[in-house]
Chains A and B, each alone.
Chain A
Amino acid sequence: MKTIMWISAFITCGLIIGIIVYVFAKGIPFISWDLLSTSPTYIPPHIGILPDIMNTIYIVIASLVVMVPLGAGAAIYLEEYATNQKVVAVIEYAAETLSGIPSIIYGLVGMLFFCEFAGLRTSILAGALTLVIMNLPSIMRTTQESLKTVPQSYREGAFALGAGKWRVIRTVVLPGCVDGIITGCVLATGRILGESAALLFTAGFAHTLNSFFEGLMSPGATLTVALYVYAKEQGEFGAAFAIAAILMILTLGINSLAMWLERHFRKMREQGYPQEKTKE
């Protein structure tokens, strides 16, 4: 029995090490400044992934900007306002359902709703909004968790001083849940970086270099979509592996950042709630 368990654990470890080593060995030789800093051209045939990098950054920024107020607001409603248990149950069930829906379905509905119905066409913005719906449950959950740790006595203290509900939320509760929002954002960034199926039909495949606002309204491939296109449709495996290596570095970095943040915030809370936050 022990051997089987040991083998299983070893397989798990071996898989991730194997994937990392393989992707880096194949991809890193192809990463060059030229690849990172230019746009692709057909004549002469040349591959550059700068537009894809920029598109990825745009889509992350746009998604986070929309997602944070929505997700944090929903969490605040659930923790601070909601009194009707049935409503809470329905909202939480909906969030559970959302996190179980596969990304290809998000892509399809995003295409129908944002691109066609809302008239955004295939654009980074449509892709970002689709990702917002996808990642709402996770940012809601992290914010909720951190709201739960804000001591009830703080709220009571503020109420006793005559503050209204909104004032209490603004000055006492919100500063207390910043850590949850940050963790949620980091986790969401990791997921956005790795997402591809939801973006295929909403954000498109274009490789043109745009400024931020121009980029939002025009189609553009993120790194993952670019990887897919290079590997599956153009057979450019060098570029595909280079992108894969970059993606691995980014997601590994972001995931370790998220883990570190979580541990850091937990430690901070165990040491007691920081005093400065109550002064406001």
Chain B
Amino acid sequence: MTRKKQNTMQENIKRKRVERIIHGIFLMLGLITVGCVLLITIYLVVSGIPAMRTIGLKEFLLGRKWASTAAEPKYGILPFILTSIYGTSGAILLGVPVGFFAAVYIAKIAKGKIKWLLQSAVGMLAGVPSVVYGLVGMMVLVPWIRKLFKVPDGSGLLASIIVLAVMILPSIIKVSVTALEAVPPEYEEASLALGATPIETYFRVSVPSARSGIAAAVVLGVGRAIGEAMAVMMVAGNAPNMPSLFESVRFLTTAVASEMSYSSGLQRQALFSIALVLYFFIMLINAALNFFLKRGNVKKL
């Protein structure tokens, strides 16, 4: 009898130990995302700081000339920072109105087959690989710009802005639609009952109560635009000029991508510093995104 009891007790202890080990394994798996974020942050900081030190932070961030392969190399990334900011703002200016109105249409007016069709169109736009956007931009948009504005080369800031605007459209629409659909129907019904027309209701009642979600959609678009590399690389021309609509420009992302394969020494370190600057921007945008998501109580996609 006692022996049997002892056996079960031992078994219990063994079982508990197994459970604890498994718990530990799952805890490690759970913490893996945290580990990845730390890994990325540490690697970027550690490899990005040295070049900033050698070049000088002010020289690096505010220098207007980038000539990494010249005999007397210059590492100023102000052109890249400004190009990224201008390019992203341009894409937002173009993409947000279209995305916003399309989202209101999808969420509130479209019904049945048309709604399904529009939503699948948005889903498909989101699924197109960025190199395909780049290729179409390169073959269609760039020649158009060249002909339309009579400039020697169509690739540049304007082409990048248009490509980026198209690329951020699906994320803006998706998140805005979710936010608009989450507006309690009572609000709209009350407005309609007071005699407002449907359109007035959508823009005076639904949109304001979904504003945090829509703001999150815009911020998400900003993040997508500033981080896009391949499509932009194919249409921006990639010369390190100060940004101008028809001139060949280089973004933060493309600055990293275009020189990485043949860089070495300080030039390579400087590229890591550019990535660190980009990472800093992304972190700011993420914080803003989280703020709006929490306030709007909408989930990302």
Contact = CB atoms under 8 A, between A and B. Distances in A.
Contacts of B256: 104, 108
A95 B33 CA distance: 6
B30 A16 contact: no
Contacts of A2: 109, 199
Contacts of B130: 194, 196-197
A196 B257 CA distance: 11
B193 interface: no
B19 A105 contact: no
B70 interface: no
8 contacts: A22-B140, A73-B26, A96-B286, A98-B36, A105-B275, A105-B278, A196-B130, A244-B132
A91 B33 contact: yes
A201 B129 contact: no
Interface in B230-269: 230, 233-234, 253, 256-257, 260-261
B257 A101 contact: no
Interface string A41-52: 000000000000
A5 B139 contact: no
B123 interface: yes
B93 interface: no
Interface of B: 15, 18-19, 22-23, 25-27, 29-34, 36-37, 39-40, 43-44, 47, 97-102, 104-106, 109-110, 117-118, 120-136, 138-140, 166, 169, 173, 199, 203, 223, 226-230, 233-234, 253, 256-257, 260-261, 272, 275, 278-279, 282-283, 285-286, 289-290, 300
B19 A19 contact: no
A13 B118 contact: yes
Given A70-B29, A190-B127, A102 B234 contact: no
B29 A5 contact: no
A226 B52 CA distance: 34
Interface string A188-210: 00100111110011000000000
Given A91-B31, A93-B290, A109 B132 contact: no
A164 interface: yes
B199 A108 contact: no
Interface string A211-230: 00000000000001001100
Nearest to A101: B282
B30 A8 contact: no
B36 A136 contact: yes
Given A5-B102, A12-B121, A140 B136 contact: no
A232 interface: yes
A227 B136 CA distance: 12
B233 A232 contact: yes
Interface string A9-29: 101110111011011001000
Contacts of B122: 12
Interface centre among B102, B199, B285 (most CB of A within 10 A): B102
Interface in A83-131: 87, 90-91, 93-109, 111-113
A6 interface: yes
B135 A231 contact: yes
Given A104-B257, A255-B124, A255-B127, A241 B135 contact: yes
Given A77-B26, A101-B282, A136-B32, A8 B97 contact: yes
Contact of B101 (A8, A105, A247): A8
Contacts of B36: 94, 98, 133, 136
Given A81-B23, A103-B227, A105-B279, A228 B272 contact: no
A147 interface: no
